[in-house]
Structure 1
Amino acid sequence: MTTSDLVGLRIKTVRRQRGLSQAQLAHPELSDSYVSLIESGKRTPTPAVLELLAQKLDCSLSYLINGVTAEQMEDIELSLGYARMALENGEVAEARNRFAELLADNNLTGLTSLRQDTEFGLALATEACGDSDEAIAILQRLQGEDVPAERKIEIAIALCRVYRQSNRLTEAVEIGERILCGPNRPAWSDPLVELGATLLAAYLVRGDHLRARQFAAELLDAAETLGTPRALAAANWNAAFTADHTGHREEALVFAERALALTSETDDPRLLARMRTAYAQLKHRARPQDAASLLDHLNQAVQVQEESPTSVIDRALALTELAQVLFVTGDVDKALEHGHAAEEILTDTGVSHVPSTQLLLGLAHSARGEAAEAGRHLRKICEALESVPPSYASARSWYATAETLEDIGDTEAGVEAYQRALACAGL
């Protein structure tokens, strides 16, 4: 049934419940024939006519348009808000349950826009829970629907990202290139630059470094043309990521510092905190001898995240990076303090997203001669990675775990972890 059919059916149903004829409902503002055409779905009433009919029928305008009362609509929007908040705060299992419960509500069936918002949220929460196949299935369903242009790009970004994380690199590249490299590419916008950044990461993971560097330059040009802080920060950060990935670490620092400066001009403290953490990670790799200079950046990032509802993953990353810097500068006790603080806020799912926390704890306990405790943390990573689908990211986690196991003297477990890394990389 079309929207007009549904609206007409609701008007007809309520009119009969009220014991009114079409002529009585129409009089004096409308003709009974016009009401008949509306009820049969042959005419689409204007907003003014719908409001008039709602008043005459003593029902809510929301019910005539959407099939739900104003109170039901408020409940749906409130539930959707809670689900989004849970996802934003890193409570991914809770978010997934809330989105799924909302989709099971029959009142959502006729609310196409809200239903699509809920399904998209469910896809993101499902991805965050590590269920890539189900996330892809949801996103593919949404991709086949008539959705607004901006949501279409958001779906493409998510699909490109999940395909890349699942090591389905050909599909990841196809999703991005279909929009960005076709003859009818839309004019550059902030969301399109973000899609470009996601495609760029797929090129890097695929090993197409030449194309990645060319595309990073294209994104920088596009961002300069747009001139928006969001696009400029994203393009500069991804140019930094590309330069770092291809071994140009000093060049990467230049781009990263620009991105950090641009982000500091925005009114998004949480984004700035994430950027500070990412910058510290990059600089730590490029200039390990300057690790102590990163403490201010990381302390600020941790402080902002403690004062705002950031995701547990972001908080754990900042605390872990701070712990790693403290560890390499010789403050093992402080490193353990922050490492255990990161561990406390991570769920079992979070361990697979932030294995570096357990790696740091393993190394720090090993440095204090606590081999059993070090081994416990490394086994926790292995258990978490068992349930993670094979991908480039999981291969890196297995490899880092193998190196750490080797460092603490557990050669047998280290060899097994190296084998798992090779298997995840398809070797």
Structure 2
Amino acid sequence: MAAVTTSDLVGLRIKTVRRQRGLSQAQLAHPELSDSYVSLIESGKRTPTPAVLELLAQKLDCSLSYLVNGVTAEQMQDIELALGYARLALENGEVSEARTRFAELLADNNLTGLAILRQDAELGLALATEACGDLEGAVTILNRLREEEAPLDRQIELAIALCRVYTDSARFTEAVEVAESVLGSSVRPTWTDLHIELGATLLAAYLYRGDLLRARQFAAELLNAADVLGTPRSQVAAAWNAAIVAESTGHGEDSLSFAQRALAVLSENGQPRSIARMRMALAGLMMRVRPQAAAEAHQLLVRAEHDLAQTSASVTDLANARVELARAEIMMGELEAAERNAVAGRDGLPSGAHPLRAEARLILSRAQSEQGSVAEARMELDSVREWLTKLPDSRRAAGTWYAAAETMERVGDEEGAVEAYRRALASVGL
């Protein structure tokens, strides 16, 4: 059976509406077109130009959107509005809500003939599925999308997402293969912002699979490519990921220089919300590389929190700011302030399990234990342990297990600490 083409569908819609209006082909065609041309269009043997389609829509008294896409202008508006709401939910950290909204949108039959919008919704569903922790589900959706025809930019977006999900799933070889299939293992494409972002995602895969030399070489290549490209977006992505590589390879001061470079570029060209997020990231890096600079990091975080409060920041952004403030305050010995901010971070998130809530509980338990509230600290740790046991093994889970083990040691839970260390190793396949 021959495949139904777009021309077939457009012709069928014209034929259906013409008959509903009680018009013959000759009546529809006269005087601008010939009836034979209308017949060819309706049979799918000719593809009408945009001007002819607009003319036919006027003569049939229907919307151009319906002839092209099979939906009315009102239905198209409803679809775009629903897609916008789903994206907003995902951006604001309401990941379960976003997943539900994208799934409901894809169940709408009106979306079937709208290839680009349907792909937008499927990509959104994949990202929401990933954010909910269902990495295998996200891989399935993304691989299905990659089998479809799509513009180059969409192909790169899919590769970025799939490379990231494979990396988070500890499937590093597959992550590298996906990214290098686009970037090329030897001959690079002409660099664009999206290519740089894909390269930055590939860097993480190199790091996690232990290919530190390749990571450093590729980080330098990305920096050079971003300098040649000259766009702020590429320069920020390349500099920040060079910072991550430098930190991972023991070059802490270099990592701070790269991160400060990323913030400088973003401060001149970025949105306030993005700048505040970068300040938080820089503060976190500073606390890891220069623990003695906790007070300086705290100042960055105070400014970031203030700036976020003046923007349309998500609850996740605001909670993250509070958690990072609590981390800095523990390092500064300001335990009561740390406890207040950790509680605010924990309670400021949407209901349901959330990695940041686990991080907040870990910091809160440490602040409580150092103030002598051991029972309260253990309750927070029990909640973290319960959440972690439900997660699949991954590098991210390993990091949280390790942090939990260290905190368990502080509150005297030696048996729990040993088990947490064991789980941390198991999460990375050791």
Bin of the TM-score, shorter chain as denominator length: over 0.9
**Counterpart secondary structure, 1:110:** coil
The reply on whether 1:425 has 2:423 as its aligned counterpart is no
Q: Which residue of 1 aligns with 2:182?
A: 179
- What code does the residue aligned with 1:198 have? T
- What code does the residue aligned with 1:45 have? P
Structure 2 vs 1, CA of residues 214 and 185 (structure 1 numbering), >3 Å: closer, same or farther?
A: closer
- What code does the residue aligned with 1:330 have? G
- Equivalence map 1:18-33=2 (5 Å): 18-33=21-36
- Equivalence map 1:323-334=2 (5 Å): 323-334=326-337
Is the CA contact (8 Å cut-off) linking 2:102 and 2:122 kept in structure 1? yes
Q: Which residue of 2 aligns with 1:107?
A: 110
2:362 corresponds, among 359, 363, 366, to 359
Structure 2 vs 1, CA of residues 182 and 422 (structure 1 numbering), >3 Å: closer, same or farther?
A: closer
Structure 2 vs 1, CA of residues 184 and 252 (structure 1 numbering), >3 Å: closer, same or farther?
A: closer
Is the CA contact (8 Å cut-off) linking 2:320 and 2:356 kept in structure 1? no
Q: Which residue of 2 aligns with 1:119?
A: 122
Unaligned runs of 5+ in 2: none
In 2, Cα distance between equivalents of 1:347 and 1:387: 19
Task: Give aligned pairs, total.
Answer: 427
In 2, Cα distance between equivalents of 1:348 and 1:163: 27
Is the CA contact (8 Å cut-off) linking 2:330 and 2:338 kept in structure 1? yes
Q: Which residue of 1 aligns with 2:153?
A: 150
Q: Which residue of 1 aligns with 2:195?
A: 192
CA deviations on 1:62-112 (whole Å, 9 max, x unpaired) are: 100000000000000000000011111111111111000000000000000
Q: Which residue of 2 aligns with 1:228?
A: 231
Structure 2 vs 1, CA of residues 354 and 179 (structure 1 numbering), >3 Å: closer, same or farther?
A: farther
In 1, Cα distance between equivalents of 2:353 and 2:153: 29
- What code does the residue aligned with 1:179 have? V
Q: CA deviation at 1:349?
A: 5.1
CA deviations on 1:150-203 (whole Å, 9 max, x unpaired) are: 111111000000000011111111111111134664200111111111100111
Q: CA deviation at 1:17?
A: 0.9
- What code does the residue aligned with 1:360 have? I
- Equivalence map 1:244-259=2 (5 Å): 244-259=247-262
- Of 264-273 and 148-157, deviating more is 264-273
Structure 2 vs 1, CA of residues 87 and 388 (structure 1 numbering), >3 Å: closer, same or farther?
A: same
In 2, Cα distance between equivalents of 1:303 and 1:138: 38
- Equivalence map 1:14-413=2 (5 Å): 14-182=17-185, 185-347=188-350, 351-353=354-356, 355-413=358-416
**TM-score normalised over the length of structure 2:** 0.97
- What code does the residue aligned with 2:14 have? I
Is the CA contact (8 Å cut-off) linking 1:355 and 1:381 kept in structure 2? yes
Structure 2 vs 1, CA of residues 6 and 184 (structure 1 numbering), >3 Å: closer, same or farther?
A: farther
- What code does the residue aligned with 1:206 have? R
In 2, Cα distance between equivalents of 1:272 and 1:422: 35
- What code does the residue aligned with 1:312 have? V
Q: CA deviation at 1:350?
A: 5.2
Q: CA deviation at 1:209?
A: 0.6
- What code does the residue aligned with 2:325 have? L
Is the CA contact (8 Å cut-off) linking 1:8 and 1:39 kept in structure 2? yes
In 1, Cα distance between equivalents of 2:146 and 2:357: 30
**TM-score normalised over the length of structure 1:** 0.97
**Counterpart secondary structure, 1:423:** helix
- What code does the residue aligned with 1:220 have? L
Structure 2 vs 1, CA of residues 354 and 214 (structure 1 numbering), >3 Å: closer, same or farther?
A: farther
In 2, Cα distance between equivalents of 1:369 and 1:125: 40
Q: CA deviation at 1:148?
A: 1.2
Is the CA contact (8 Å cut-off) linking 2:111 and 2:118 kept in structure 1? yes
Is the CA contact (8 Å cut-off) linking 1:352 and 1:388 kept in structure 2? no
Q: Which structure would you say has the larger RCO, counting Cα contacts within 8 Å and 6 or more residues apart?
A: 1
In 2, Cα distance between equivalents of 1:195 and 1:210: 19
Q: CA deviation at 1:355?
A: 3.0
Structure 2 vs 1, CA of residues 169 and 312 (structure 1 numbering), >3 Å: closer, same or farther?
A: farther
- Of 282-291 and 65-74, deviating more is 282-291
**Counterpart secondary structure, 2:391:** coil
In 2, Cα distance between equivalents of 1:44 and 1:27: 19
- Of 314-323 and 125-134, deviating more is 314-323
- Of 317-326 and 27-36, deviating more is 317-326
Give identity over the alignment, percent.
62
Moved segments of 4+, more than 4 Å: none
Is the CA contact (8 Å cut-off) linking 1:129 and 1:349 kept in structure 2? no
In 1, Cα distance between equivalents of 2:303 and 2:414: 38
In 2, Cα distance between equivalents of 1:184 and 1:27: 57
Unaligned runs of 5+ in 1: none
Q: CA deviation at 1:307?
A: 2.5
Q: CA deviation at 1:351?
A: 2.9
- Of 49-58 and 351-360, deviating more is 351-360
In 1, Cα distance between equivalents of 2:238 and 2:314: 23
- What code does the residue aligned with 1:33 have? S
**Counterpart secondary structure, 2:269:** coil
Q: CA deviation at 1:379?
A: 1.4
Q: CA deviation at 1:44?
A: 0.5
RMSD of the TM alignment (CA)?
1.3
